[in-house]
């Protein structure tokens, strides 16, 4: 294992044993896995979603359900593969009924996300959906905080991080295209713009 892989594995082990999380008991009762993240630890692009759904919690991998299939389609059309990027979520455990994570849950899990990013040190952070966008804009203290995703999707913004300057690109969540076909072309274009970044 590379140094980065070792460091990520150590952080994942901490999340695995996060008994103080209100979602820990829900995870164990349902035989779910926590979903830490997957992909290339040397990735130039990190995709960040909100929290795992049921398919993800069963497999312990991010974006493996219906929205994951759509995500793979957009990545492929943009000339990207999962093997060259890294995918994770703000919250690493599935909230019941796929509800939005609570403020307490975000506060508990977000330091792990920040540490993941500090290990990987991507050039580009792409957020999947409004929730992840709001979180990342807030986490990096960006001027775009409070923006509507419909106004800023596919655009590039600059964030200052502990490991240097990063380009942040908000994207619609891939699931949007499952129930709104007209958004599919928008997402397709946004993913192409993301690919051009590297």
Q: Model confidence over 132-183: pLDDT tens digits?
A: 999 999 999 999 989 999 999 999 999 999 999 999 999 999 999 888 888 8
Measured distance CA(51)–CA(3) in Å, rounded: 26
Locus of tokens 């957009």 = 74
Measured distance CA(151)–CA(147) in Å, rounded: 7
pLDDT at 181 (0 to 100) = 81
At CB < 8 A and 24+ separation, what contacts does 19-27 make? 20/108, 21/93, 21/105, 21/108, 21/109, 22/102, 22/104, 22/105, 23/91, 23/93, 23/94, 23/95, 23/105, 24/93, 26/93, 26/94, 26/95, 26/96, 27/57, 27/93, 27/94
pLDDT at 52 (0 to 100) = 96
- pLDDT > 70: what percent of the chain? 99
Let me know how long the chain is.
198
β-pair partners for 127: 48, 170
Question: Mean pLDDT across the chain, nearest whole number?
Answer: 94
Taken in order of first residue, the domains within the chain and their CATH numbers are 3-196 (3.40.470.10)
In terms of Cβ atoms closer than 10 Å to its own Cβ (0-12, 13-18, 19+), residue 60 is middle
The reported pTM is: 0.95
pLDDT category of residue 15 using cuts at 50, 70 and 90: very high
pLDDT at 104 (0 to 100) = 94
What is the enclosing helix (H) or strand (E) of 88?
strand 86-89
* Average pLDDT of span 5-10: 97
């Amino acid at each position: 294992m590379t140094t980065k892989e070792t460091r990520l594995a150590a952080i994942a082990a901490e999340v695995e044993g996060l008994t103080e999380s209100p979602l820990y008991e829900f995870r164990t009762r349902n035989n779910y896995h926590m979903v830490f993240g997957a992909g290339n630890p040397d990735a130039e692009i990190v995709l960040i979603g909100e929290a795992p759904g049921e398919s993800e919690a069963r497999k312990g991998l991010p974006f493996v359900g219906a929205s994951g299939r759509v995500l793979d389609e957009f990545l492929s059309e943009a000339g990207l593969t999962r093997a060259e990027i890294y995918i994770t979520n703000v919250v690493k455990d599935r909230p019941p009924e796929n509800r939005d994570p609570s403020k307490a849950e975000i506060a508990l899990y977000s330091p792990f996300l920040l540490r993941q990013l500090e290990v990987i040190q991507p050039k580009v952070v792409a957020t999947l959906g409004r929730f992840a966008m709001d979180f990342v804009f807030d986490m990096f203290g960006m001027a775009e905080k409070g923006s509507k995703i419909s106004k800023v999707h596919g655009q590039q913004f600059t964030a200052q991080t502990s490991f240097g300057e990063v380009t942040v690109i908000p994207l619609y969540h891939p699931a949007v295209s499952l129930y709104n076909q007209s958004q599919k072309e928008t997402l397709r274009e946004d993913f192409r713009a993301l690919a051009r970044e590297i």
